[in-house]
Amino acid sequence: MQHAKIVNALTASWARHVDGGTVLSGAGAWPLLAILAAAADEPGRDELAAAVGLPAGDCTTAARETLTLMAETDGVDAALGVWAHARAHLNPEWAAELPPAAVGELSGDPAADRARLDSWAQEHTAGLIQRFPIDLDPDLMLTLATAVALRTTWTRPFTDEPMRPLDGPWRGQQVAGLKRTTRALDDLRAALTPAGVLTMTRIEGGNGLDVHLVLGEEGRPPGEVLPAAFGLLAGEHRVQHGSELIDADVGPAPGVSVIAAQRPSLALTTTRFTVRSEHDLLRLPAVFGLRTVSRGDRGHFSRISSVPLRVGQARQSAVAYFSAQGFEAAATTAVGLHLVSMPVFKARGLQVTYDRPFGFLAVHRASGLVLFAGWVDEAELA
């Protein structure tokens, strides 16, 4: 994929801020940021482009290519949705440049709009995401959203075998263990990274999709391990494969030990998991390039609308399931563009407007003499 490296860079930057169990999709957020970068005014345009990793002028095409590639990948569904209120007065030229999308209207009725948006999220994630991630309020003029869903089944399934860890945070608990043994030693890799030694194991899906499990040194936080895993995946570190580790004299990688077996093989033990997460992208404005365009002092998207708009919401709902048979995950990411509130002035003032036929008097000030009187029936044309 042409833009995989820069999409992954965004995901890795996001992952640096992870501090607990989570699931996130940079691939779901990236196309939205690219579309916004192409439409934003300076200086927000540069900030968004920097987060996306491309010149702003290339962003719409890149978003289209990325969404198309995901949608055409076996086992992956990807969709773009755009909904606008009539008061948004969308620029038709901007709308025409968008990647293929489901385009609809925001009626201003929160219940009706909520039902419509929730239905879209459910439809495009096979029901994995039940609720569209942003709130509906009277100032919401436009929302852009992506839905990404992935499903794969293992080429070699696991068996369910409950386990009771002897060490670590799960010590003494009976967890839903999964086990399998393969001869693919090199599905296991280990590397020294800036986050210490990482262990990564590839689990092959039947439709060209893989899941990589990553284990760091004990005590390493996820905000270090996950970004380092991107570097390992990209080949940035010297890797030892399982076929090397099986005969290595060096200390084992995290979670790896040498055992007696009838033949060279890789025995993998892990656990079932379900992870659900809700992310507020505006909590990390520097990561996503949203600092300037979320400010309410003025509008930031004159290419989208003559109405002053700002990013008022940017959120993602995500879920992932890992089982003996396979893996499925989905994310709906949405950005809400809100009407910029007009500035409030403390001093009182008056305004008078003559925008229809009116009369006039020409008066001599000292005497009060009316010299001329008249009526303006038609305004002079410019």
Of the three residues 321, 339, 357, the one that is the final residue of a domain is: 339
Per DSSP, the residues of 5-72 read: HHHHHHHHHHHTT--SS----HHHHHHHHHHHHHHPPTTHHHHHHHHHTS-GGGHHHHHHHHHHHHHH
Same domain, 50 and 141: yes
Parallel, antiparallel or unpaired: strands 140-153 and 76-85: antiparallel
Task: Provide the H-helix boundaries in the chain.
Answer: 4-15, 26-39, 44-52, 59-72, 92-97, 110-124, 222-233, 242-245, 285-288
Give me the pLDDT at residue 365, please.
Answer: 61
How many Å apart are CA 51 and CA 321, to the nearest integer?
A: 29
Same domain, 229 and 334: no
Same domain, 75 and 202: no
Give me the pLDDT at residue 370, please.
Answer: 47
Same domain, 251 and 292: no
> Residue 143: beta bridge partners?
83, 336
Whole-model pTM above 0.75?
Answer: yes
Give me the pLDDT at residue 372, please.
Answer: 47
**What token pair was written down for 45?**
């345009």
Give me the pLDDT at residue 352, please.
Answer: 67
Same domain, 62 and 196: no
Q: Determine if the peptide bond prior to 43 is cis (ω within 30°).
A: yes
Same domain, 256 and 131: no
Same domain, 253 and 318: no
Same domain, 68 and 107: yes
Same domain, 298 and 240: no
Of the three residues 264, 298, 320, the one that is the final residue of a domain is: 264
Same domain, 202 and 122: no
Same domain, 258 and 279: no
In a domain, 367, yes or no: no
Q: SS3 helix, strand, coil % of the chain, rounded to 5?
A: 25, 30, 40
> Measured at the alpha carbon of residue 317, what is the angle toward residues 300 and 173, in degrees to the nearest 5?
145
- Spell out, as residue ranges, where the chain has pLDDT lower than 50: 364, 370-372
In a domain, 202, yes or no: yes
In a domain, 374, yes or no: no
Would you say 209 and 153 are in contact if contact means Cβ atoms under 8 Å apart? no
φ/ψ of residue 105, rounded to 5: -115, 150
How many Å apart are CA 235 and CA 160, to the nearest integer?
A: 33
Give me the pLDDT at residue 252, please.
Answer: 72
Same domain, 249 and 289: no
Range of the domain at 76: 4-153+273-339
Give me the pLDDT at residue 377, please.
Answer: 55
Give the CATH number of the domain where residue 84 resides: 3.30.497.10
Of the three residues 209, 239, 264, the one that is the final residue of a domain is: 264
Q: How many domains does the chain have?
A: 2
How many Å apart are CA 254 and CA 109, to the nearest integer?
A: 54
